[in-house]
Structure 1
Amino acid sequence: MKKILIVEDQQDIRELIRMTLEIEDYEVHEAPQGDIALQMIGRINPDVMLLDVMMPGGIDGFEVCRRVKADARFKRTKVVMLSARGSSADRDTGKRAGAADYLVKPFSPRQLLQVIDRVS
């Protein structure tokens, strides 16, 4: 069973993503912001991290991605950025940070599952 960490500050979006993933039998973990995700990742060691770009707490998704990808323990963890910001500059920033993919909100459950299948 693949483990997925959802890092999203909006609870309703986290819940929708969680429900979509649980139906597909993923092991789902949640964090409401980046600093909490960085504390959790060592315990969870997820296969995929779904990571919002804009979050409170002083650390955005790009920085969380950089830190995760810089840590050799999480070499196999795939990061998918989630954002309402869909410009090519934002996508490039995500790619440079180490993201495997970038999904623009709003997205459908089917799109989400396709991206997870593609990266994992």
Structure 2
Amino acid sequence: MATLVLAEDAPHMLRLLEMTLRKKGHQWTAVGTGDAALSEIRARKPDAAILDVIMPGMDGLEVLQALKADPETAEIPVIILTARGHTFTREQAEQSGAAAFLTKPFSPTELLAVVDRHTTAAQP
């Protein structure tokens, strides 16, 4: 079981993420803005974070860059989730240190596999 911060401003997508993560017993804190995501991740130091790219305030890529620039949060795996599957967005995410990049709509099975793969090292 992993602890996560979910940053997603679309209620329907947040419900899908929560239903998917609940199947594996993961725990999470959900926020709807990039600024709130950055604050929660810094405060909670989760096993991983799932960030939507397009959000109010800071976008997911800006949050990712801020996390990777901070030694306290640089090692937290960040999964970028976006409806924009553009090559440019994927390249930005990878260059900024994202652990994974998923395009909406995503497969719940794929999401769980990605979360498990990037949080296994954090598990006791």
Normalized against structure 1, the TM-score is what?
Answer: 0.92
The equivalent residue for 1:106 is: 105
Which residue in 2 is equivalent to 1:116? 115
2:74 & 2:55 partners in 1: Cα distance?
24
Instruction: Give, in whole Å, the separation in 1 of the partners of 2:103 and 2:87.
Output: 11
Alignment-mate amino acid for residue 84 of structure 2: R
Instruction: Tell me the CA shift for residue 42 of structure 1.
Output: 2.3
Deviation at 1:37, TM superposition (A): 0.9
Please state whether the residue corresponding to 1:25 is helix, strand or coil: coil
Deviation, 1:87, is: 1.8
What SS does structure 2 have at the residue aligned with 1:80? strand
The answer (yes or no) to whether the contact 1:63–1:97 under 8 Å persists in 2 is: no
How big is the alpha-carbon RMSD for the aligned residues of Structure 1 and Structure 2? 1.2
Match in the other structure for 2:76: 77
- Residue 45 of structure 1: CA displacement? 0.7
Stretches of 4+ aligned residues off by more than 3 angstroms: none
Q: Say yes or no: does 1:19 pair with 2:19.
A: yes
**Aligned equivalents of 1:119, 1:23: Cα separation in 2:** 17
Does the 8 Å contact 1:49/1:78 carry over to 2?
Answer: yes
Q: Determine if contact 1:47/1:76 at 8 Å carries over to the other structure.
A: no
In structure 2, the gaps of 5 or more residues are 120-124
Aligned to 2:122: none
1:50-75 Cα offsets, whole Å, 9 max, x none, are: 00001122x11110000011111113
TM-score, normalised via structure 2 length: 0.90
Match in the other structure for 1:46: 46
Q: Using the alignment, how far apart are the partners of 1:54 and 1:84 within structure 2?
A: 9
**Per-residue deviation, 1:2:** 1.3
Look up the SS of the partner of 2:72 in the other structure: helix
Matched residue type, 1:35: D
